[in-house]
Structure 1
Amino acid sequence: MLIDTARELKARLSARLAEGFPPVRASDLGGRVWTRPAIGLAPVAPGRVHLAIRVAAEDDARVLLTDLDDVVRAEIDVRVTGPIVPLSSPTPAELQRRTRPLHPGLSVAHPAVTAGTLGGFVRVEGRLAILSNNHVLAASDAGAVGDAVLQPGPADGGVPADRVATLTAFERFTEGRNKVDAAVAVLDAGVEAEPGRLPGGPLAGTVADGLEVEPDEEVEKVGRTTGHTRGRVTAVEVDGVAVQYDDGVHVFDDQIEIEGLSGPFSAGGDSGSVIWRSADRVPLGLLFAGSDQGGRNGAGLTFANPLSTVLATLGAEWVAS
């Protein structure tokens, strides 16, 4: 509809809203969730808009949509947002403690490992699973399918009672060239998860192909050690990345290189973090290694497996929310 028409409809519905929902001050809420619909304009073409209605629950739009004809309803964009809350980034201290439901960025590890990061969630043969690195969930090939995964990791106080998942699959390292350092662990019965609980909200439901990642794209991650950080892709399709593990050096091809925008992008314990593109929140990499030197700011470089390669290798499907 035309912008002026939409503004008139907005004013009319806002008046109806005022009648149906009297003003409520925060002190009057008594712990209840405030579900009053929000109304705005959503551009759809030059000079034309839809009326944007945002509600916490689907039923909350009913008072506004009653008596509207089908032609007008076709020009309304209704979206259920759930409760809207202030957004903040979790601190490393929050990410390192025992947390339920599980969410990306938390400390997690095999019982024989210190601690890494729960990168995100995937489905493996229809089952919801944790995604992280081989060296985090499978102890660099020393673990076995069926082993426990703890949250938090042992370095953060995790004990057998903190078991949350079962190691399900991992890509073993080879003496030749490796593509991924990755593993998945299916959630144990009764363990709940919030895949979309990230700074800024859920990530996109699609995963970037490694070939689509361009140098200088700004990216973000949330990890167990450094929390929410921002960086820049400085190289793609990087071959010959030699990583020093406890059992020796393993070499990786076709990797993504990232440096922090201000200070380091990652540090030890951030391994397993999923990295996403700031512009569209599309996930593109699985963080697995880094250095404390190099980069334009001298704060080190971070390396990530292309997430599309990780998922294809493990036969996993990305779960955004």
Structure 2
Amino acid sequence: MLIDSARELKARLSARLAEGFPLATASGLGGRPWTRPAIGLTPVAPGRAHLAIRVAVEDDARVLLTGLDDVVRAEVDVRVTGPILPQARHRASPPPADLQRRTRPLVPGLSVAHAAVSAGTLGGFVRLDGRLAVLSNNHVLAAEGAGAVGDAVLQPGPADGGTAADRVATLAAVAPLTDGPNRVDAAVATLDEGVTAEPGDVPGGPLGAAVPDGLEVEPDEEVEKVGRTTGHTRGRITAVEVDGVAVQYDDGVHVFDDQIEIEGLSGAFSSGGDSGSVIWRSSDRAPLALLFAGSGRGGRTGAGLTFASPLSTVLATLGAEWVAT
């Protein structure tokens, strides 16, 4: 269907969700898994899209699609994801050795974290109030909001052996995780005196200096990232403008709107510890998004889906400027 028609159908189903599924808060879930579907758009041709529906279990899809005629159902892309988790959990699979080590100067893709977090990824570099800073997620640099501005950021993260002696930056700005729909999971930490960085040291060379404002995506647009756990991986964007992405954090579920969905070209695009990675477009190396969560199911290979926030939204929220080189 035309993309405007897909947006109209998305709005209709979102309204139906609001009527049938009262918005829950993180504090009100009592540990129960979130099951409200997420809805976005899957580009299928220039100017055309299917409706993307992402559900935790099959029953949720049946409820949502009841009453839709066959013509509309043919324009709907439904995938079962299972739980969606923040990607800073330390898992058993061994990370690429070079990314988990203590490394100076700092480069994108390295293990990094708040002292109370296991390990996430240094996504890239920004300027905040004129100072060079590292960009990653709230749940990586600020411990899901439990940290405070002024706290230490370590490289490598504690899961990779980082200690107080490995301090490289100071938490400077955090996008809070709220009970209502969130737009980003992001934070920045300004580099400590004497800590050096090479922002352009990315697989394939420096990323573009311009961050696209808004995302016009071609079908199966290919993207890349470098992360602490899975290293340099390639994927394709499978949905955009995804609302209702429910992520199960330690303090409960937080919901995100206007997100980007990605699947790996071969296996998983990301795994635990890759949170905070910056995702770029393969065709022109434009930095597009900040990775923050993923599922263990879904996608053409069944290896799971990755969720990321538009980088332009991240930078605007934090008041930061992208630094490519």
TM-score normalised by L of structure 2: 0.70
Q: Of the candidates 153, 156, 161, which is equivalent to residue 157 of structure 1?
A: 161
Determine if the alignment matches structure 1 residue 137 to structure 2 residue 154.
Answer: no
Deviates more, 1:213-222 or 1:147-156: 213-222
Determine if the alignment matches structure 1 residue 228 to structure 2 residue 232.
Answer: yes
Q: Of the candidates 118, 121, 126, which is equivalent to residue 122 of structure 2?
A: 118
**Residue type matched to 1:99 in 2?**
T
Once the two structures are TM-superposed, the CA of residue 292 in structure 1 deviates from its matched residue by: 1.1
Give unmatched runs, 5+ long, in structure 2: 1-94
Determine if the alignment matches structure 1 residue 257 to structure 2 residue 261.
Answer: yes
Verify the 8 A CA contact 1:105 1:119 in the aligned structure 2.
Answer: yes
Q: Deviations over 1:38-80 (max 9, x none)?
A: xxxxxxxxxxxxxxxxxxxxxxxxxxxxxxxxxxxxxxxxxxx
| Equivalence for 2:103 | 99
Q: Of the candidates 180, 183, 202, which is equivalent to residue 179 of structure 1?
A: 183
Q: SS at the partner of 1:172?
A: coil
Verify the 8 A CA contact 1:210 1:284 in the aligned structure 2.
Answer: no
Q: Of the candidates 170, 192, 198, which is equivalent to residue 188 of structure 1?
A: 192
Matched residue pairs, number? Answer: 231
Once the two structures are TM-superposed, the CA of residue 92 in structure 1 deviates from its matched residue by: 1.1
Correspondence 1:1-321 to 2 at 5 A: 92-321=96-325
Give unmatched runs, 5+ long, in structure 1: 1-90
Q: Provide the alpha-carbon RMSD of the alignment.
A: 0.8
**Residue type matched to 1:198 in 2?**
V
**Residue type matched to 2:227 in 1?**
G
| Equivalence for 2:26 | none
Q: SS at the partner of 1:161?
A: helix
CA distance in 2, matches of 1:215, 1:315: 31
Q: Deviations over 1:276-297 (max 9, x none)?
A: 0000000000000001100011
| Percent identical | 83
Once the two structures are TM-superposed, the CA of residue 215 in structure 1 deviates from its matched residue by: 4.1
Q: Which has the higher contact order (CA 8 A, sep 6+)?
A: 2
**Residue type matched to 1:292 in 2?**
G
Q: Deviations over 1:100-144 (max 9, x none)?
A: 000000000000000000000000010000000000000000000
**Residue type matched to 1:205 in 2?**
A
CA distance in 2, matches of 1:110, 1:261: 31
Q: Do the aligned partners of residues 214 and 252 (structure 1) sit closer, same or farther apart at CA in structure 2, a change above 3 Å counting? A: farther
